[in-house]
Amino acid sequence: MATISPFLWFDTQAEQAMNFYASIFKNSKVLSAQKIGGQVFAVEFDLEGQKFMAMNAGPQHKFNESISMFVSLDTQAEVDDLWAKLIADGGREDQCGWLKDKFGLSWQIIPKALPRLLRDPNPKKAQAAMQAMLAMKKIIVADLEKAAANA
């Protein structure tokens, strides 16, 4: 059976990124770090049951928004906590639940309430939730719910 794992290309920070991500996600573990000539070249780690691989291969290819890590969370507190950790030390917020971490990797930090509100059977409520989301950086569930309720 085939397995599929994200493979991340870093300039020189694969080990630092692996350790950073492993420190943020509760169910994580460092699996390996391969060295060539005394320098870390490739790493493997697990975040919440998803295996990742990464390598240090130089600055030729940078991360961009065409690929992102999508994280679905149950509560606003989980969204707030993960958001703060991922933008710390040089990350930056973007629109509609997107951010870039300090390594330039894009993440979508999405509460499970968002798709529920966007799929509301009442199109006015769904549209109001969509308009509220479009005005946000970090997704605030209470604000989405208020917009939908006032539609």
Burial class from Cβ neighbours inside 10 Å (0-12, 13-18, 19+) for residue 35 reads exposed
- Give 69-121 as a DSSP string: EEEEESSHHHHHHHHHHHHTTT-EE-STTEEE-TTS-EEEEEETHHHHHHT-S
* First and final C-alpha spacing in the chain: 48
Does pLDDT of 1 surpass 90? Answer: no
In CATH terms, the superfamily for domain 1-61 is 2,3-Dihydroxybiphenyl 1,2-Dioxygenase, domain 1 (3.10.180.10)
Domain 63-151, what architecture? Answer: Roll (3.10)
Q: What does the pLDDT read at residue 34?
A: 97
Maximum Cα interatomic distance, the chain, rounded to a whole number of Å: 62
Does pLDDT of 86 surpass 90? Answer: yes
- Quick: pLDDT tens for 27-45: 999 999 999 999 999 999 9
Q: Are the folds of 1-61 and 63-151 the same?
A: yes
Does pLDDT of 2 surpass 90? Answer: no
pTM beyond cutoff 0.85: yes
For the chain, the domains span: 1-61, 63-151
